[in-house]
């Protein structure tokens, strides 16, 4: 990287824009240049500007302490900045500033970096940073493209955490590396070579930016402590797992006993299942007998209901007999209704036809009247057209003459107004002449009075500026004098505070000695306590308490699981009963469905054959006594009335189909189907069995864990299943109270020890805090002493500045005595400066206004005289024009009156265009009325014709329908007569009976359905009764095993239940024993598994603990200083290697050598036969050369082999003699040729100014803290 140009604007003491161009002479060809200037002139501001433009940070503010000389309040946001905020570099009294650097990067491109900030009224804006890449095309034109400083990352907030990733990649160095590479800190190395090893490590760490090694050492210590804690935790868990492990002999014995118990348990389960099956058979038999009795009662009830419907059956038979006349009867009724409606419609249409005939005559008369009116209007229009034409011509002439009269009258009015205006202007002009003469006289009088102060008033602005400058300077001198006196008082107070602080530090050292002795005594007292035994007792008590709490939970688990098992068993039995019932019903329905499917096809085939069209034809041709062509029989009982014979067959087919549908719905309906119900019950039963198995496993696990835990407590029973719950709870409570008492005692002893340990820790912490506080106070005292010395120097400088300001004020006051002509101006200045300035401004304004008025009055008087003559001439011309206009207006009025009289005689004054438009509108309205009347007459005639035709057609239709209706009535009467004459029919058929049969409101289908449903219900109940009887007989044939009964009154179900209870009790007892044995085995297996898994984890954590322990013993500790010194030994080795290369260029006499495995540095003097010399034996100049070599070595080391073409060396040359100074200057000059570095030396010594000709001079201007840059 190479700096090409630095531009600064309003930075600190540098006001305005200052430019340092390294590509222009004399800096371009200079190998070495110096930056010179007085103390505080702004030399270091140049380096701050370079860092600000590049990195947004300034060395003078980076890491500054929050200290303010005259204020103690914390800065408020952006109104008052923190001391470490780089925006403090903005020059006071200015609104904006910026720093800009143009540099050549290692990628060959030129870049322009810019940093700027401003202040808006009272708030500082946030700094703005930009980076541009400068490109040059083939034609030599330059262009800039902005580059992201952050490298695509997020811009951080604040003035400390700044993201410069993109810029760091372009330059190759971050901010810390750049400052160590480009700005040499040789004064810091002067302190470094004289410090001890511990301080050297800290200084070298800060100089090289290698704080990482201290952080690594602290992290190693943290990881070591964490690994130690995790290892101890797993080791304690492994010890606890080994409690439940069984020996091999005990394990074999328990497993054999478990197998024997399982075999006995399975045998009892088989016996219990047989008893359950036998009990289930008896229960099912009772259920079938009850079901058979219910079905028999239903069949009897259905038969009685079917017999009660006989009257309905008779009505339906009669309805079937009159069915042939239904269509004829319906036709007759419809025709009668239509004839009535048609008669009413014809009557209405005839009335409408008569009304239309009268309206048509009226419309015809109205049409003739309208046509006559139209003809009259048209004749009137033809007569008026010649008069309208003549009137229109006369109106045009009259309008033209009226316009002429109007124009002449307007001209007369305009001339009158003009005459009045001219006379008014004459009066005003005369008044203005008098007023101007008065103003001219007054202005001349004022100028005569102000003539003695003419020179002062002519230079009024300069005099006012000097008075204001003098006032500001006096106020500044007064304010700064007061501040200086106040600062002197504060300096005295600060000196007193430093002395008091020294006394407090002495007392604090004495307190530290007493505290150290107390800590030693307390440590000896705690050394006699057996901490491990105390911790073991507490751990044992804690384990016992945990075990008892677990036993209490296990007791609750066993009780709850046994209760759940009993409930599951009851629910399972209920579900099994429901499932058996559903299965039996499915089997019965399936059998019935198969029977129906077997019989139904035959019935349907017989029905189809008997009811087919061919069978009906064959029955129709049969004759009594003649043989049948199919069977040869001579008697034909079914030749007639076959419908009654086939009806039961049809009904049976329908009943069986319906039953088949009901069976399918009962079996497969969703929801409610039997198959779906069986599936749901099987699912519930499986879930209950699975839950029972899970509960048994959990019960066995809980019993096993109880058995394993209760071994350590002889007071508690081993069998938790058989033990009484209340007694067991009391024993657990008693044992828990005993353990709690032991725990309280152990806890009290541990708390006492812990309290003593805490007191010792607090004492050590207090000692450390006091020691740290003393160190901080000592450092603060040192810092205050340095500040005090600095402030004393500033106070002396301020006193000199005040004296210089007082002399400047005297000179300015003497100059004002020559310029100000007011006799008492000095007294007025002391009393009221603002009043004096206002007085001077008033005199100046009065003088300037009088001069202006006097000059304007002369010119305006001449103008008014010329205007008076012009107005007199214009008034004469206006009067002559008015006379001529009056004569012309009189003649035009006479002509207009004559024309108006002739116009009024034609149309009586009416407008011809309006008269013509009125006539036209009257004719159009009459024509429209004719058209409307003609249209209305035509429409009325057409309606009358259409209605007459409709009446004729309706009368013809009525005659036809009347004939059809009479024929239908005769057919109905003939059917009634034949029916009543027939001997087969019982009763008399009447028209009223036909009306009832064929009434739309009669629900014959409902009555038929009622009869059909009653018959089907009888057949269904009979079938169900037979099915129940067959099922009962089949169940008796399936008896599992007869029960030997002691008597007739013995209940088989009760006997079986008693046997089942005995077997179940034996099973429960055996199951408890199985659970206990299984719990022991489960606890053993879990213990083995836990120890295996924990053993692997223990070994892994032990290895990690050993590794971190070894690493911590070598490098780690709590404060990180162990690894710091080791790492800095290697850093010093590389630094000395780079420093020797630089030292050979500065002086071949010396070279550096590191003391083996330490931070010590020795100097080898080659002029004394390679004599090894200590640093303390070097002179001031030799020490400076060594420090400079180390600083140059650090620059090379920090640059990471990245070429840096600029180097700045700040101060430190005052300790060199003339020869050493010449040698250093020659060495620095050679860096340009050897390493390509342009070196800038910052110094204020006279020798450096004389030796280095190329200089950047920072020159103070005046006493306001302002400086400018000159390059010579």
Pairing of strands 14-21, 2-11: antiparallel
522-529's contacts with Cβ under 8 Å and 24+ in sequence apart are: 522/756, 522/759, 522/760, 522/763, 523/760, 525/756, 526/753, 526/756, 526/757, 526/760, 529/753
Amino acid 131: pLDDT: 92
Pairing of strands 1206-1210, 110-120: unpaired
Tokens (6 digits) for 783:
């810092």
Strand, helix or coil for residue 554: helix
Amino acid 635: pLDDT: 62
Rounded to 5, what percent of the chain is helix, strand, coil? Answer: 75, 10, 20
Judge whether 463 and 456 are in contact, CB under 8 Å: yes
Residue 1008: cis peptide before it, omega within 30 degrees of 0:
no
Separation CA 153–CA 163 (nearest Å): 8
At a CB cut-off of 8 Å and minimum separation 6, what does 279 contact?
A: 1053, 1056, 1057, 1060
Amino acid 629: pLDDT: 60
Specify the residue for token string 């010449």.
1222
Specify the residue for token string 């289930």.
280
Judge whether 190 and 1189 are in contact, CB under 8 Å: no
Beta-ladder partners of 1150 = 1165
Judge whether 100 and 114 are in contact, CB under 8 Å: yes
Pairing of strands 1255-1261, 1238-1242: unpaired
Tens of pLDDT, residues 1207-1221: 888 756 666 677 777
Amino acid 19: pLDDT: 94
Separation CA 1242–CA 1252 (nearest Å): 11
Amino acid 609: pLDDT: 63
Judge whether 1076 and 721 are in contact, CB under 8 Å: yes
Chain-centroid distance of CA 793 in Å reads 59
Whole-angstrom distance between the N-terminal and C-terminal Cα of the chain? 25
Separation CA 620–CA 616 (nearest Å): 6
Strand, helix or coil for residue 1092: helix
Alpha helices, H only, 450-530: 454-458, 460-526
Separation CA 821–CA 1033 (nearest Å): 153
**What DSSP state is assigned to residue 451?**
G
Q: What is the DSSP string of 1033-1047?
A: HHHHHT--S----SS
Judge whether 1117 and 225 are in contact, CB under 8 Å: no
Q: Which of 704, 554, 546, 604 is nearest to 1080 (CA)?
A: 704
To the nearest 10 degrees (0 to 180), the angle between helices 1180-1198 and 175-182 is: 140
Blockwise average pLDDT, block size 10, the chain, 1272 residues: 91 90 88 84 88 88 54 56 83 90 89 91 85 84 86 54 81 78 61 64 65 77 83 73 71 82 82 79 81 84 82 74 73 79 79 79 80 78 75 78 82 83 83 82 81 76 77 82 85 82 81 80 71 73 81 82 83 84 83 80 68 55 62 59 67 81 75 72 75 82 82 76 76 81 79 76 78 77 73 75 78 76 77 80 81 80 79 80 81 79 74 78 81 80 76 77 80 76 62 71 77 81 79 73 50 77 82 74 74 78 84 74 74 82 77 80 82 74 76 68 74 66 72 72 74 86 81 87
Tokens (6 digits) for 386:
């010649």
Alpha helices, H only, 983-1003: 991-997
Write the secondary structure of 290-335 as one string of H (helix), E (strand) and C (coil).
HHHHHHHHHHHHHHHHHHCCHHHHHHHHHHHHCHHHHHHHHHHHHH
Handedness of CA 1107, 1113, 1115, 1120 (dihedral sign): positive
Amino acid 8: pLDDT: 94
Task: Specify the DSSP element, H or E, that contains 459.
Answer: none
Separation CA 973–CA 964 (nearest Å): 15
Specify the residue for token string 């505290």.
515
Amino acid 101: pLDDT: 95
Domain ranges for the chain, please list them: 323-449+909-974, 488-529+725-812, 549-611+649-710
Write the secondary structure of 1050-1084 as one string of H (helix), E (strand) and C (coil).
CCHHHHHHHHHHHHHHHHHHHHHHHHHHHHHHHHH
Pairing of strands 32-37, 1255-1261: parallel
Amino acid 133: pLDDT: 92
Pairing of strands 32-37, 96-104: unpaired
Separation CA 960–CA 950 (nearest Å): 16
* Beta strand segments in 105-255, E: 110-120, 123-124, 128-136, 142-146, 183-184
Amino acid 1125: pLDDT: 73
Q: How far is CA 1055 from CA 273, 1042, 1215, in A?
A: 15, 12, 125
pTM: 0.36
Task: Specify the DSSP element, H or E, that contains 269.
Answer: helix 248-307
- The burial class, CB within 10 Å (0-12 / 13-18 / 19+), for 418 is middle
Chain-centroid distance of CA 184 in Å reads 50
At a CB cut-off of 8 Å and minimum separation 6, what does 229 contact?
A: none
- The burial class, CB within 10 Å (0-12 / 13-18 / 19+), for 856 is middle
Strand, helix or coil for residue 6: strand
Q: Which of 134, 137, 321 is nearest to 982 (CA)?
A: 321
Judge whether 284 and 580 are in contact, CB under 8 Å: yes
Q: How far is CA 116 from CA 57, 99, 207, 437, 1179, in A?
A: 12, 6, 29, 63, 46
Question: What values do phi and psi take at 1154, rounded to 5?
Answer: -90, 135
* CA atoms within 13 A of residue 381's CA, in its CB half-sphere: 16
Amino acid 17: pLDDT: 92
Task: Specify the DSSP element, H or E, that contains 17.
Answer: strand 14-21
Tens of pLDDT, residues 1207-1260: 888 756 666 677 777 777 777 777 666 666 788 888 766 667 777 888 998 888
Beta-ladder partners of 104 = 2, 110
Check if CATH label 1.10.287 holds for domain 549-611+649-710.
yes
Instruction: Please give the torsion angle defined by the CA atoms of residues 698, 702, 703 and 707, in that order, rounded to the nearest 10 degrees.
Output: 150
Chain-centroid distance of CA 309 in Å reads 79
Q: How many CB atoms lie within 10 A of CB 53?
A: 25
At a CB cut-off of 8 Å and minimum separation 6, what does 85 contact?
A: 61, 159
At a CB cut-off of 8 Å and minimum separation 6, what does 1080 contact?
A: 246, 254, 704, 707, 708
Tokens (6 digits) for 59:
């060395």
Amino acid 69: pLDDT: 40
Sheet holding 1161-1165, edge to edge: 1150-1154, 1161-1165, 1171-1173
Separation CA 175–CA 672 (nearest Å): 84
Judge whether 1245 and 1269 are in contact, CB under 8 Å: no
Judge whether 395 and 403 are in contact, CB under 8 Å: no
Tokens (6 digits) for 748:
């009290």
Separation CA 219–CA 213 (nearest Å): 10
């Amino acid at each position: 990287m190479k700096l090409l140009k630095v531009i600064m604007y309003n930075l600190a003491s540098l006001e305005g824009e200052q430019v340092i161009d390294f590509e222009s002479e004399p800096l371009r060809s200079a190998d070495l240049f110096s930056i010179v200037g007085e103390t505080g002139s702004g030399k270091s501001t140049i380096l701050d500007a370079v860092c600000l433009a590049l990195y947004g940070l300034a060395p003078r503010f980076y890491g500054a302490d929050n200290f303010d000389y005259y204020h103690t309040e914390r800065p408020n946001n952006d109104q008052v900045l923190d001391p470490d905020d780089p925006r403090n570099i903005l020059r006071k009294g200015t609104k904006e500033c910026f720093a800009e650097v143009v540099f050549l990067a290692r990628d060959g491109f030129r870049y322009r970096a810019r940093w700027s900030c401003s202040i808006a009224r009272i708030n500082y804006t946030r700094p703005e940073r930009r980076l541009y890449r400068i490109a040059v095309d083939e034609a030599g034109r330059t262009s800039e493209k902005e580059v992201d400083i952050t490298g695509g990352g997020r811009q951080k907030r604040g003035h400390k955490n700044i993201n410069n990733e993109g810029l760091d990649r372009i330059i190759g160095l971050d901010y810390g590396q750049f400052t160590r590479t480009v700005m040499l800190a040789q004064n810091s190395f002067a302190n470094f070579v004289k410090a001890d090893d511990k301080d050297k490590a800290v200084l070298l760490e800060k100089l090289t930016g290698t704080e990482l090694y201290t952080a690594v050492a602290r992290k190693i210590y943290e990881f070591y402590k964490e690994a130690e804690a995790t290892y101890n935790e797993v080791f304690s868990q492994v010890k606890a797992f080994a409690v439940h492990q069984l020996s091999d002999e005990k394990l074999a014995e328990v497993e054999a006993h478990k197998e024997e118990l399982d075999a006995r348990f399975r045998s009892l389960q088989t016996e219990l299942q047989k008893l359950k099956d036998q009990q289930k058979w008896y229960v099912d038999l009772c259920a079938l007998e009850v079901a058979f009795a219910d079905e028999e009662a239903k069949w009897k009830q259905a038969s009685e209901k079917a017999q009660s419907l006989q009257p309905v059956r008779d009505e339906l038979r009669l309805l079937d007999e009159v069915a042939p006349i239904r269509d004829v009867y319906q036709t007759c009724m419809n025709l009668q209704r239509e004839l009535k409606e048609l008669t009413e419609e014809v009557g209405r249409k005839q009335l409408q036809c008569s009304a239309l005939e009268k309206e048509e005559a009226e419309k015809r008369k109205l049409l003739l009247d309208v046509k006559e009116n139209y003809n009259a209007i048209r004749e009137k229009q033809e007569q008026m057209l010649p008069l309208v034409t003549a009137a229109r011509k006369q109106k045009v002439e009259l309008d033209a003459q009226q316009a002429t009269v109007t124009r002449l009258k307007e001209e007369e009015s305009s001339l009158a107004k003009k005459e009045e205006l001219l006379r008014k202007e004459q009066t005003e002009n005369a008044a203005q002449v008098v007023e101007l003469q008065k103003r001219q006289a007054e202005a001349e009088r004022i100028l005569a009075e102000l003539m003695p102060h003419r020179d002062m008033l002519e230079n009024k602005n300069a005099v006012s500026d000097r008075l204001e400058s003098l006032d500001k300077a006096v106020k500044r001198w007064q304010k700064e004098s007061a501040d200086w006196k106040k600062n002197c008082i504060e300096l005295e107070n600060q000196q007193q505070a430093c002395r008091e602080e020294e006394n407090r530090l002495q007392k604090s050292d004495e307190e530290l000695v007493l505290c150290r002795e107390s800590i030693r005594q307390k440590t000896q007292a705690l050394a006699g306590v057996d901490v491990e035994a105390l911790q073991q007792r507490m751990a044992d008590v804690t384990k016992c308490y945990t075990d008892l709490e677990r036993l209490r939970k296990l007791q609750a688990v066993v009780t709850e699981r046994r209760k759940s098992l009993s409930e599951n068993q009851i629910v399972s039995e209920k579900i099994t009963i429901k499932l058996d019932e559903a299965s039996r019903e499915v089997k019965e329905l399936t059998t019935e469905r198969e029977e129906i499917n077997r019989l139904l096809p035959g019935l349907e085939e017989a029905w189809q054959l008997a009811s087919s069209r061919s069978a009906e034809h064959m029955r129709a041709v049969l004759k009594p006594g003649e043989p049948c062509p199919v069977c040869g029989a001579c008697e034909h009982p079914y030749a007639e009335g076959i419908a009654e014979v086939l009806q039961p067959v049809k009904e049976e087919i329908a009943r069986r189909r319906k039953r088949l549908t009901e069976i399918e719905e009962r079996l497969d309906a969703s929801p409610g189907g039997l198959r779906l119900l069986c599936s749901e019950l099987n699912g519930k039963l499986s879930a209950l069995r699975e839950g029972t198995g899970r509960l048994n496993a959990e019960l066995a696990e809980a019993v096993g864990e109880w058995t394993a835990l209760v071994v350590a407590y002889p007071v508690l029973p081993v069998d938790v299943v058989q033990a009484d719950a209340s007694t067991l709870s009391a024993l657990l409570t008693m044992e828990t109270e005993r353990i709690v008492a032991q725990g309280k005692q152990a806890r009290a002893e541990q708390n006492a020890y812990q309290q003593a340990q805490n007191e010792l820790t607090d004492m050590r912490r207090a000692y450390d805090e006091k020691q740290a506080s003393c160190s901080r106070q000592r450092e603060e005292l040192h810092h205050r002493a340095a500040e005090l010395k600095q402030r004393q120097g500033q106070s002396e400088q301020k006193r000199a500045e005040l004296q210089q300001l007082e002399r400047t004020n005297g000179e300015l006051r003497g100059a004002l005595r020559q310029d100000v002509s007011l006799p008492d101006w000095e007294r007025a200045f002391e009393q009221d400066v603002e009043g004096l300035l206002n007085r001077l401004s008033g005199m100046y304004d009065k003088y300037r206004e009088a001069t202006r008025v006097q000059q304007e009055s002369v010119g305006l008087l001449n103008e008014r005289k010329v205007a008076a003559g012009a107005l007199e001439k214009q008034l004469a011309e206006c009067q002559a024009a008015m006379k001529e206009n009056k004569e012309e207006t009189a003649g035009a009025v006479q002509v207009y009156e004559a024309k108006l009289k002739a116009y009024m005689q034609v149309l009586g004054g009416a407008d011809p265009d309006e008269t013509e438009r009125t006539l036209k509108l009257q004719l159009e309205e009459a024509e429209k009325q004719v058209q409307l009347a003609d249209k209305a007459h035509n429409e009325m005639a057409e309606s009358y014709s259409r209605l007459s035709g409709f009446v004729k057609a309706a009368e013809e239709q009525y005659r036809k329908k009347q004939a059809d209706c009479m024929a239908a009535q005769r057919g109905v009467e003939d059917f009634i007569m034949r029916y009543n004459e027939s001997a087969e029919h019982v009763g008399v058929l009447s028209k009223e009976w036909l009306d009832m049969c064929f009434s739309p409101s009669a629900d014959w289908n409902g009555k038929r359905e009622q009869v059909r449903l009653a018959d089907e219900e009888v057949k269904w109940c009979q079938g169900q009764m037979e099915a129940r009887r067959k099922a009962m007989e089949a169940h008796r044939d399936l008896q599992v095993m007869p029960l030997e009964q002691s008597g007739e009154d013995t209940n088989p179900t009760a006997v079986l239940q008693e046997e089942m209870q005995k077997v179940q009790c034996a099973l429960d007892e055996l199951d408890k024993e199985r659970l206990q044995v299984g719990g022991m085995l489960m606890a053993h297996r879990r213990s083995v598994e836990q120890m295996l898994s924990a053993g692997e984890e223990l070994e892994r954590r032990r290895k990690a603990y050993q590794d971190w322990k070894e690493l911590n013993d070598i490098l780690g500790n709590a404060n990180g200083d162990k690894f710091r010194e080791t790492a800095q030994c290697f850093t010093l080795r590389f630094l000395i290697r780079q420093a020797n290369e630089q030292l050979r260029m500065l002086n071949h006499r010396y070279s550096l050598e590191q003391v083996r495995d330490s931070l010590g540095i020795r100097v080898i003097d080659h002029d004394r036969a390679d004599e090894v010399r200590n640093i303390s034996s070097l002179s001031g100049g030799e020490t400076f050369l060594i420090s400079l070599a180390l600083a140059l070595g650090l620059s090379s080391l920090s640059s990471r082999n990245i070429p840096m073409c600029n180097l700045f060396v700040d101060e430190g040359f005052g300790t060199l003699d003339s020869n050493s100074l010449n040698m250093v200057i020659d060495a620095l000059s050679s860096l340009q040729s050897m390493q390509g570095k342009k070196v800038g030396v910052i110094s204020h010594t006279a020798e450096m100014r004389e030796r280095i000709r190329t200089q950047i001079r920072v020159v103070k201007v005046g006493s306001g803290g302002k400086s400018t840059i000159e390059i010579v």
